[in-house]
């Protein structure tokens, strides 16, 4: 007796084509490499609370439309309790956001190569118990005695570090060693033209994304993801970002992991 569950030739062909298309789609996803897109921040109360934290200044909030702090926190996978080093923190806008996001159980070190009066004034006006100013050379920016770090951030300053005598290979290796296994380094910077290497770091204050990836990879990092949440396709990348006359400039966001 023939089985009554056997598919008709027409239906069997339809199922075969559907399965083939599904397998091809899954293969394409597997081969696509690191993610490239806007981080999903929908409904994240933690990030919303950090962004509205009263320790953030009016200038911080003014820059939110351009810097997109919710997307930044999501891309960096910031969680409560994290130990974070913010390299070249400047006046502390990013450090303050991070300190608010990691909460009282976390810690953030706001590193600068020299003392920052703006950071000192910020902390005097709105002290945060879990935000620690740190002055140390770029060659060794890791706080002495700190526990293994969960996250390192370098927000729009790697190109400036290139313009100093810093031994970046030594700096990147120390950052790698300071992270715990599976720890993350997030680097955001002003995009230079592809193939320009380090040639625009001083003239245009931009840097080639590929050059950054090469230097961090050499230190042992693995590129985990890229995001286009700060990408501006209309930017010809021919001017310094501060001479764009109010137009948004193109930036790249990279997330590296310590394997």
Q: Which domains does the chain have, with CATH numbers?
A: 36-257 (3.40.50.150)
* Measured CA distances, 17 to 10, 14, 21, 146, 169 (Å): 11, 5, 6, 56, 51
- The residue among 211, 226, 134 whose CA lies nearest residue 178 is 134
- Four-residue CA torsion sign, 80, 187, 175, 225: positive
Residue 35: per-residue pLDDT:
60
Give the 3-state secondary structure of the chain.
CCCCCCCCHHHHHHHHHHHHHHHHHHHHHHHCCCEECCCCCCCCHHHHHHHCCCCCCHHHHHCHHHHCHHHHHHHCCCCCCCEEEEECCCCCHHHHHHHHHHCCCCEEEEEECCCCHHHHHHHHHCCCCCEEEEECCCCCCCCCCCCCEEEEEEECCHHHHHCCCCCHHHHHHHHHHHEEEEEEEEEEEEECCCCCCCCCCCCCCCECHHHHHHHHHHCCCEEEEEECCCCCCCCCCCCCHHHCCCCCCCEEEEEEECC
Largest CA distance in the chain: 89
pTM given for the model: 0.85
pLDDT of 23 above 80: no
Alpha-carbon distance of 110 to 89, in angstroms, equals: 5
User: Phi/psi class of residue 74: alpha, beta or left (left: φ > 0; alpha: ψ in -120 to 50)?
Assistant: alpha
Confidence of residue 39 (pLDDT cuts 50, 70, 90): confident
What backbone phi and psi angles, to 5 degrees, belong to 36? -140, 105
Convert the pLDDT of each residue in 190-239 to its tens digit.
999 999 999 999 999 999 999 999 999 999 999 999 999 999 999 999 99
- The residue among 140, 102, 153 whose CA lies nearest residue 255 is 153
Dihedral angle over CA of 149, 89, 196, 199, nearest 10: -120
Alpha-carbon distance of 95 to 131, in angstroms, equals: 7
Query: Between vectors from CA 40 to CA 47 and to CA 181, what angle results, nearest 5°?
Result: 75
The predicted model gives 44-61 an average pLDDT of 96
Residue 56: per-residue pLDDT:
98
195 or 13, which is more confident?
Answer: 195
Residue 22: per-residue pLDDT:
41
The pLDDT mean for the chain works out to 89
pLDDT of 81 above 70: yes
Alpha-carbon distance of 180 to 204, in angstroms, equals: 35
Q: Which tokens hold the place of 43?
A: 């409904």
Residue 44: per-residue pLDDT:
86
Confidence of residue 37 (pLDDT cuts 50, 70, 90): low
């Amino acid at each position: 007796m023939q089985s009554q569950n056997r598919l008709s030739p027409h239906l069997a062909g339809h199922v075969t084509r559907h399965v083939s298309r599904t397998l091809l789609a899954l293969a394409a996803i597997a081969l696509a490499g690191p993610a490239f897109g806007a981080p999903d921040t929908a409904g994240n109360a933690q990030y919303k609370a950090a962004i509205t934290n009263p320790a953030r200044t009016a200038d911080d909030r003014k820059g939110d439309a351009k810097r997109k702090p919710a997307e930044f926190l999501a891309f960096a996978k910031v969680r409560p309790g994290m130990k974070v080093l913010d390299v070249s923190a400047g006046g502390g806008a990013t450090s303050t956001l991070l300190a608010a996001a990691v909460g009282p159980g976390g810690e953030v070190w706001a590193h600068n190569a020299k003392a920052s009066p703006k950071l000192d004034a910020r902390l005097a006006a709105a002290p945060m118990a879990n935000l620690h100013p740190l002055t140390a050379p770029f060659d060794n920016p890791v706080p002495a005695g700190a526990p293994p770090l969960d996250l390192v951030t370098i927000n729009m300053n790697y190109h400036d570090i290139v313009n100093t005598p810093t031994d970046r290979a030594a700096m990147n290796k120390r950052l790698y060693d300071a992270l715990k296994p599976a720890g993350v380094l997030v680097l955001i910077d002003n995009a230079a033209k592809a193939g320009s290497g380090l040639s625009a770091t001083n003239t245009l204050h931009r840097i080639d994304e590929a050059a950054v990836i090469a230097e961090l990879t050499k230190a042992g990092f693995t590129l985990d993801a890229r995001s286009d949440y700060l990408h501006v396709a209309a930017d010809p990348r021919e001017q310094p970002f501060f001479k764009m006359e109010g137009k948004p400039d193109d930036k790249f966001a990279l997330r590296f992991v310590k394997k």
